[in-house]
Amino acid sequence: MVFKILIVGIAGAAGSIARYMGGLFVLNIIKIPPTRFPIGTFLINIVGSLLIGIIFELFAKGKMSEEWRLALAVGFCGGFTTFSAFAYENIGLLTHGGEDISLKLLKSILYIGLSVILGILAVWVGMRLVRAVA
């Protein structure tokens, strides 16, 4: 049990570092301030959803051990994806800036809708990718 806790913790730390570095990378490449649209978190959540779809399908097919599933899905993806930041940034979209409330609401709804729909689609694509090659 202690070993499983350690692998989840270590992998979670790696996922958190990857999330931070990925956010910086996106911010520096795309150069959209997060106050305009949180593109870094958005892209990380979609990539994390794709990864977890791949991981769970590999595990379901017996091509991944329980320890690797814990490390990658629970640990890494848990640290990498950022739905708490997602919720916080939605509040920011609704409350910051000088735009009309209807535009703020539209941005927030668009962010929520695209994140959820594309996240679910990415999990499905990850699973289908594994099925196609395994």
Residue with tokens 């990658």: 72
Q: pLDDT tens, 14-41?
A: 999 999 999 888 888 887 776 778 888 8
Note whether 48 and 80 are within 8 A (CB).
yes
Note whether 23 and 40 are within 8 A (CB).
yes
11 band by pLDDT with thresholds 50, 70 and 90: very high
Owning domain of residue 38: 2-133
Q: pLDDT tens, 40-70?
A: 889 999 999 999 999 999 999 999 999 999 9
Number of domains in the chain: 1
d(CA 24, CA 34): 11
Q: pLDDT tens, 63-92?
A: 999 999 999 999 999 999 978 889 989 998
